[in-house]
């Protein structure tokens, strides 16, 4: 596997989930693959889980790891071609990318949506330049429209906890004080449909996600109704996708916060969130601290999703 930006890059998802569980059972069995290989992780945005879990995954595989925080300690990067560079950005991405490629074997990139231009965000302008110009295998550590390493970890977690062959999985919007990208909900919806689950998405009107990612899911605007009989509740905030309001906050209605009353409507559902989470905005203290909360397991599985992806990339070098 040379690139990983979408569920489609894995080929058969069931096969990848099986492989991930094999990796989890024996995390250090593939150290020979990474010997004398270097991973470069490039962050345009902050991270706790992705940074640590991906680094740990690479170390499990015997790799060397370098991390570059583009906005801290590196030259500020211009990303637009044709710009007269007389401002505060002394280096262009078009030189920086091939230079970075000289020093490593695989590149991971985190570059969120900026909400400045929907077309730029949804064409994945930044990560696609790394794919085009680095000369190296590239994987997403959360790009503008997707967070595949998170979704892969989410699917592993559901597979490990599900009690039915086809669980009902509900993705619910919840309030947040800042405008957040659609990457996590896009990927979660797409991967959950691909995994064969019954997928319901609930949100206030105006928060419809791109149909490209939600095909096969049911949209239910009544959150209580959506929760009925659910086996997994996946909470997440996202800003509006529709053209007129792209990147805007349309609601901070805290009646959408996931609480014990709503969880009682479910079929004893597990609670999931990718983290970081704003308590008592997205979810109450009681729900996230309950025994049905699997947010820490989910975060732990980030190491496994990253290791499975890196293993496949190393095998193709
Ligand atoms: N879930 C996730 O990607 O966490 P970080 O932003 O901390 O990496």
Full-model pTM: 0.98
User: Across the beta sheet with 106-110, what order do the strands follow?
Assistant: 3-4, 138-140, 106-110, 38-43, 64-69
164: left (phi over 0), alpha (psi -120 to 50) or beta: beta
Q: Return the best residue to mutate from 274, 297, 301, 305 for the ligand 1 pocket (most ligand atoms within 8 A of CB).
A: 274
Q: Return the best residue to mutate from 48, 181, 184 for the ligand 1 pocket (most ligand atoms within 8 A of CB).
A: 48
Do 66 and 192 have their domain in common?
A: no
Do 24 and 116 have their domain in common?
A: yes
Could you tell me the distance, in angstroms and rounded to a whole number, from the CA of residue 84 to the centre of ligand 1?
34
Do 271 and 182 have their domain in common?
A: yes
**pLDDT mean over 250-257:** 97
Do 193 and 136 have their domain in common?
A: no
Cβ of 253: how many Cβ atoms within 10 Å?
11
Do 126 and 159 have their domain in common?
A: no
Distance CA 55, CA 43 (A): 13
Lowest mean pLDDT across 74-78, 232-236, 244-248 = 74-78
Do 172 and 100 have their domain in common?
A: no
Q: Which is the closest atom of ligand 1 to the Cα of 53?
A: 8
**pLDDT mean over 129-133:** 97
Say how many domains are in the chain: 2
Domain range for 101 is: 3-146+302-315
CA-nearest residue for atom 6, ligand 1, is 47
Task: Report residue 289's pLDDT band, with 50, 70 and 90 as the boundaries.
Answer: very high
The contacts found for 8-14 with CB under 8 angstroms, 24 or more apart, are 9/148, 10/152, 10/312, 13/155, 13/191, 13/194, 13/195, 14/195
Distance CA 75, CA 91 (A): 6
For the chain, the distance separating the N- and C-terminal CA atoms, rounded to the nearest angstrom, is: 9
- To the nearest whole percent, how much of the chain has pLDDT over 70? 100
Task: Report residue 309's pLDDT band, with 50, 70 and 90 as the boundaries.
Answer: very high
Report the CATH number that the domain containing residue 274 is assigned in CATH.
Answer: 3.40.50.1370
Which residues have C-beta atoms less than 6 Å from ligand 1?
47-50, 142, 150, 274-276
**pLDDT mean over 242-261:** 98
Do 271 and 153 have their domain in common?
A: yes
Could you tell me the distance, in angstroms and rounded to a whole number, from the CA of residue 47 to the centre of ligand 1?
5
Do 79 and 186 have their domain in common?
A: no
Could you tell me the distance, in angstroms and rounded to a whole number, from the CA of residue 15 to the centre of ligand 1?
25
**pLDDT mean over 233-244:** 98
Do 153 and 199 have their domain in common?
A: yes
**pLDDT mean over 107-121:** 97
pLDDT, tens digit (0-9, with 9 covering 90-100), for 4-62:
999 999 999 999 999 999 999 999 999 999 999 999 999 999 999 999 999 999 999 99
CA-nearest residue for atom 4, ligand 1, is 49
Burial class (CB in 10 A: 0-12, 13-18, 19+), 75: exposed
Q: Return the best residue to mutate from 42, 44, 50 for the ligand 1 pocket (most ligand atoms within 8 A of CB).
A: 50
Task: Report residue 71's pLDDT band, with 50, 70 and 90 as the boundaries.
Answer: confident
Q: Return the best residue to mutate from 47, 149, 180 for the ligand 1 pocket (most ligand atoms within 8 A of CB).
A: 47
What are the structure tokens assigned to 30, written together? Answer: 């593939």
pLDDT, tens digit (0-9, with 9 covering 90-100), for 31-40:
999 999 999 9
Task: Report residue 73's pLDDT band, with 50, 70 and 90 as the boundaries.
Answer: confident
Mean pLDDT of the chain: 98
Do 135 and 229 have their domain in common?
A: no
**pLDDT mean over 162-171:** 98
Q: Which is the closest atom of ligand 1 to the Cα of 274?
A: 1
Could you tell me the distance, in angstroms and rounded to a whole number, from the CA of residue 275 to the centre of ligand 1?
6
Do 217 and 235 have their domain in common?
A: yes
Do 43 and 154 have their domain in common?
A: no
What pLDDT score was predicted for residue 82? 95
Asked whether the beta carbons of 256 and 173 are under 8 A apart, the reply is yes
Could you tell me the distance, in angstroms and rounded to a whole number, from the CA of residue 93 to the centre of ligand 1?
24
Task: Report residue 215's pLDDT band, with 50, 70 and 90 as the boundaries.
Answer: very high
């Amino acid at each position: 596997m040379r690139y990983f930006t979408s569920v489609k890059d894995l080929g058969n998802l069931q096969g990848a989930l099986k492989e991930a569980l094999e990796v989890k059972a024996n995390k250090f069995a593939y150290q020979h693959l990474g010997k004398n290989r270097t991973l470069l992780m490039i962050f345009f945005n902050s991270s706790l889980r992705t940074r640590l879990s991906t680094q740990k995954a690479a170390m499990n595989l015997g790799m060397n790891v370098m991390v570059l925080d583009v906005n801290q300690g590196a030259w500020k990067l211009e990303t637009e071609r044709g710009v007269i560079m007389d401002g505060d950005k002394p280096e262009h991405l078009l030189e920086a990318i091939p230079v970075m490629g000289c020093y490593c074997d695989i590149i991971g990139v985190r570059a969120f949506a900026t909400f400045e231009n929907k077309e730029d965000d949804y064409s994945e302008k930044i990560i696609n330049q790394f794919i085009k110009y680095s000369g190296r295998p590239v994987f997403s550590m959360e790009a503008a429209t997707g967070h595949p390493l998170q979704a892969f970890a989410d699917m592993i977690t559901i597979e490990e906890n599900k009690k039915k062959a086809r669980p009902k999985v509900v993705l619910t919007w919840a309030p947040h004080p800042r405008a957040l990208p659609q990457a996590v909900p896009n990927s979660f919806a797409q991967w959950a449909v691909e995994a064969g689950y019954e997928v319901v998405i609930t949100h206030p009107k105006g928060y419809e996600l791109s149909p490209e990612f939600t095909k096969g899911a049911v949209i239910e605007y009544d959150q209580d109704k959506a929760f009925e009989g659910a086996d997994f509740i996946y909470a997440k905030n996202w800003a509006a996708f529709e053209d007129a309001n792209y990147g805007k906050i349309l609601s901070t209605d805290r009646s959408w916060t996931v609480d014990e009353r709503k969880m009682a409507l479910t079929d004893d559902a597990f609670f999931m969130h990718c983290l970081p989470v704003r308590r008592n905005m997205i979810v109450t203290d009681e729900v996230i601290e309950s025994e049905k909360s699997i947010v820490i397991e989910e975060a732990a599985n980030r190491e496994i999703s990253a290791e499975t992806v890196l293993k496949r990339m190393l095998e193709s070098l």
